[in-house]
Structure 1
């Protein structure tokens, strides 16, 4: 199952079949890559870019994101081939390269990002319904949280009974999200106004931020829609030829990048930037309504709700898998290494949904709940991404696994360097505030690592691990003080 925090659908080509192994052509692999990357986050891009930047800043942001995320995709692909025995999740690379506590932090950050991302599902659904039922507001009213909570626990008990994602659901979800996007792009091509587009070129009327600031404003948004890029390498075992995996990764990635660019750029030819920024989420629905009327909003909204609810089932299953696999690898307490009679990691699922419920309650106090969830999800996901890229860089520098095949080392060294630099750039561009909030989650979560080490009768921290924990704890205290004093707002 892929880890697509941009709310794409996790697809297992072999699910529901009786064949021992299914082989897929390069085009089938490409379709799987596209299907796993395109999710509900794309429906929010017009207003997200309207708030952040003009046309030129947006194009520069996509160029940076395109290069950086493609390098990360290649990192995952290379590691899958060089370290095939490390197949327990993203965090296992961090553990192998940098020790137990950093491996734990990677697992915790990745799991927390899935939990916050799941909250984004509900905020987006209720914001969509808020267009038709004002009681739901922007997805963060008491009524919205109450209804979302009911859905969380309905899904929870369904999953506990062994309800898994079916192939038919995948098909419905894929159609539900792709058709509205294609209709949106087709209609906006005909409604495109070059004069409005040129007025938005450098930032738009009433905006005076420098270009570099506009680009920076978009950084976490671009990370958010590409989270899950590591899923491309998961399909390698289904390829007819090993070389097809690289081709499918590039084709699928370029296809999705073109789709994202069109979804963000065409609305700049429809409305002034200030009006784009004010569109409520899902902003794609609002933009289409400007052109064709109310039916456009309803059409996109129905597609989004079906897509999000379908993908939420798959993502909840995956989220519960992370603590379960971490416990199997002795990074979290053994009580999480438990499956019920239906082979569902039940204790991990309980912990996951309790945390999701807690984050959902926090949205009641957030000024812009979806934006907060988006940026925090991106920042948390970048931590394990950075560690994975650093592990690939370490392998290339030490020449480990390159003894018998040194020819690819220089290429993979460059790829890993770019991936590391990109991950650091995104964390810095996202702002210190998001890293401090991330620390506020990681420090209390370290109690799981403490319990795990005590169970094994091992020393909790080595010297450098203690230094890292101390720095993270100081960051968490700083975040707490900032929230209390109002210097950090959510």
Structure 2
């Protein structure tokens, strides 16, 4: 069903979706996360790599939105158009599971923040915290069922509201910046060397992926755009806005506290930095801002998770039942499935050593494969010349940018480590049943010969993952 006129989203709303999807729990954890991983030099290199790679990916999304306006919910539709139905399903499933992990991270951080004032919530994974988070899951579920437009409007309001505490934090730490502290933090407590810095940079990679996840928000909601060209513009505008904030929050923090102190800060570490600079009220202010921010971020991810499943079902790579909408136009069946998965992840977080960190890194790992497939499809269009008959001069530049985006996604997968690839396979394998059901509904052959090879590789990774969990080689 096409989106009604009332459900259409403007450039401003689409940009807010991108910013709202990207700015959430991650930015509030950056000072501590980077402090535990690297010094100032490694942090700057990490942001140059991540910023450049993600900018190329933003350009790929922008280019594909213009060249394939017929493809809605581009995060998986591009993969299907380029590489077949099962690969399209893999992109959809990976993005969807990543979105569910992102929502889980948001919920854990909300409760961990409350735990600083109410110890019963602990680190966000205590029984009371999980119960409270579960109630929030289903409260938002009811809200989204009332309509995507209403939820998107609330998300836009939350986006503007959360920029205020983050902006104030940046102003305060820039004003308090001390060059001698920053210089002392440059090398991460190690002797300056290429090897040491490279190791530090690698340790930040999945964190940087996590904070950029959401860059595709406008693309996922392309069917709701008032003007198709707004999708690409919103993606680039949202990315550049968020990149500036991420770099400022990270780098400036090295100028107000020693790295060892940054590394010791509990989540949300931004509150600890603010308290150090201006006193306890600063930590409370940032914590309130975090709650607003993460609630908005949770809403964004709830919308995105349901939307990608709904669109995949409409496109025939997931069972048709998941394409059902309610009277308000909300993807009701997809929303039910997504929130049930989030509920399961919340329960599993009770058993994780560091529930928030695990959810954060799994979000990055699961979304990297869909990103890689989007970039690879942009490479294919540039290489073959498809869609470039009327604009041949743009082809070379688009191809170079898409190739760089593809290389970046591959680099991040390698830097993230084997553990998260194996855990990803462990999740991909069981959800493949959704693809099997969809193909049987349509009375189509389930897998081609090449797709059987891909399924076998996923199954092998899942088996190795299970063995790693059972033997203690992989710890969650």
Alignment TM-score > 0.5, same fold? yes
Of 409, 413, 417, the match for 2:403: 417
Q: Distance in 1 between matches of 2:15 and 2:443?
A: 47
Q: CA deviation at 1:371?
A: 1.1
Q: Distance in 1 between matches of 2:307 and 2:11?
A: 26
Which residue in 2 is equivalent to 1:59?
Answer: 44
Which residue in 1 is equivalent to 2:293?
Answer: 307
SS at match of 1:483: helix
1:358-437 paired onto structure 2 within 5 Å: 358-437=344-423
Q: CA deviation at 1:159?
A: 3.1
Residue by residue over 1:430-450, the C-alpha shift from the partner in whole angstroms, topping out at 9 and shown as x without a partner, is: 111111100010000001111
Of 121, 125, 148, the match for 2:133: 148
Q: Distance in 1 between matches of 2:139 and 2:233?
A: 41
Say yes or no: does 1:118 pair with 2:75. no
Question: Which stretches in structure 2 are left out of the alignment for 5+ residues?
Answer: none
Question: Which stretches in structure 1 are left out of the alignment for 5+ residues?
Answer: 1-11
Q: CA deviation at 1:427?
A: 0.5
Which residue in 1 is equivalent to 2:337?
Answer: 351
Q: Distance in 2 between matches of 1:33 and 1:447?
A: 31
Residue by residue over 1:15-73, the C-alpha shift from the partner in whole angstroms, topping out at 9 and shown as x without a partner, is: 68xxx99677xxx9877765654333211110110111110000000000111101001
Q: CA deviation at 1:81?
A: 1.0
Q: CA deviation at 1:257?
A: 2.0
Which residue in 2 is equivalent to 1:165?
Answer: 150
Deviating more after overlay: 106-115 vs 133-142: 133-142
Which residue in 1 is equivalent to 2:450?
Answer: 464
Which residue in 2 is equivalent to 1:96?
Answer: 81
Q: CA deviation at 1:294?
A: 1.4
Q: Distance in 2 between matches of 1:218 and 1:183?
A: 25
Which residue in 1 is equivalent to 2:54?
Answer: 69
Which residue in 2 is equivalent to 1:194?
Answer: 179
Say yes or no: does 1:228 pair with 2:214. yes
Q: CA deviation at 1:315?
A: 2.6
Q: CA deviation at 1:169?
A: 2.9
Tell me if the contact between 2:65 and 2:232 (Cα under 8 Å) persists in the aligned partners: no
Aligned in 2, Cα 1:133/1:419: closer, same or farther, shift over 3 Å? Answer: same
Of 316, 330, 333, the match for 2:319: 333
C-alpha RMSD of matched pairs (Å): 2.7
Q: Distance in 1 between matches of 2:332 and 2:17?
A: 29
Q: CA deviation at 1:477?
A: 0.8
Which residue in 1 is equivalent to 2:461?
Answer: 475
Q: CA deviation at 1:92?
A: 0.5
Aligned in 2, Cα 1:193/1:85: closer, same or farther, shift over 3 Å? Answer: same
Q: CA deviation at 1:263?
A: 0.3
Tell me if the contact between 2:143 and 2:151 (Cα under 8 Å) persists in the aligned partners: no
Q: CA deviation at 1:405?
A: 1.8
Tell me if the contact between 1:176 and 1:304 (Cα under 8 Å) persists in the aligned partners: no
Aligned in 2, Cα 1:172/1:111: closer, same or farther, shift over 3 Å? Answer: same
Say yes or no: does 1:137 pair with 2:122. yes
Tell me if the contact between 1:116 and 1:359 (Cα under 8 Å) persists in the aligned partners: yes
Deviating more after overlay: 343-352 vs 406-415: 343-352
Which residue in 1 is equivalent to 2:200?
Answer: 214
Q: Distance in 1 between matches of 2:324 and 2:470?
A: 38
SS at match of 1:332: coil
Q: CA deviation at 1:189?
A: 1.9
Residue by residue over 1:162-202, the C-alpha shift from the partner in whole angstroms, topping out at 9 and shown as x without a partner, is: 48535763454134311111111121123222222111101
Aligned in 2, Cα 1:85/1:101: closer, same or farther, shift over 3 Å? Answer: same
Q: Distance in 2 between matches of 1:378 and 1:258?
A: 20
SS at match of 2:31: helix
Q: Distance in 2 between matches of 1:152 and 1:166?
A: 14
Residue by residue over 1:374-423, the C-alpha shift from the partner in whole angstroms, topping out at 9 and shown as x without a partner, is: 11101111111100111111111111112232111110110111011000
Residue by residue over 1:201-228, the C-alpha shift from the partner in whole angstroms, topping out at 9 and shown as x without a partner, is: 0112699971101000111111111112
SS at match of 2:294: helix
Q: CA deviation at 1:262?
A: 1.2
Which residue in 2 is equivalent to 1:263?
Answer: 249
Q: Distance in 1 between matches of 2:359 and 2:440?
A: 33
Q: Distance in 2 between matches of 1:456 and 1:232?
A: 30
Which residue in 2 is equivalent to 1:486?
Answer: 472
Tell me if the contact between 1:15 and 1:167 (Cα under 8 Å) persists in the aligned partners: no
SS at match of 2:327: coil
Say yes or no: does 1:43 pair with 2:28. yes
SS at match of 2:419: helix
Q: CA deviation at 1:327?
A: 1.0
Deviating more after overlay: 386-395 vs 209-218: 209-218
Which residue in 2 is equivalent to 1:439?
Answer: 425
